[in-house]
Structure 1
Amino acid sequence: MSPKPPYQLQADCENCFGLCCVALPYAKSADFPINKDGGIPCRNLQADYRCKIHQNLREKGFKGCTVYECFGAGQKVSQVTYAGNDWRENPDTAKEMFEVFPIMQQLHEMLGYLHEALKREETQPIYKELQAALEQTAALTELNPESIISLNVPAHRAIVNELLKRTSELVRKDAVRKENTKRGSDYIGAKLKGADLKGASLRGALLIAADLRNADMRLADMIGADLRDADLSGADLRGSIFLTQVQVNSARGDRKTKLPEGLRSPAHWT
Structure 2
Amino acid sequence: MKPLYKILLLFLVFSYVGYGQENNETPDENLPLKLVHAEPLYIDLIRDLGARKGEKEWNIGAGISDNLDFDSYEFLVEYEWAVADRLGLEIEIPVTLFSRNAVRSTNISKPADRIESIKLAGQYTFLVSEKLQTSLAFGNIVEIELADLNGLSLNNLTQGLLINPFFVAATRLTPSWHALLYTGPRFLTGWNGHENSVAYEINSNLHYMIPNTSNFIGLEVNQLIHDGKLETVLRPQMRVEIMETLKIGIVPGISLNRNNERFSSFIRLIYEPHH
Using structure 1 for the length normalisation, give the TM-score. Answer: 0.23
Q: Which has the higher strand share?
A: 2
Greater relative CO (CA pairs within 8 A, separation 6+): 2
Using structure 2 for the length normalisation, give the TM-score. Answer: 0.23
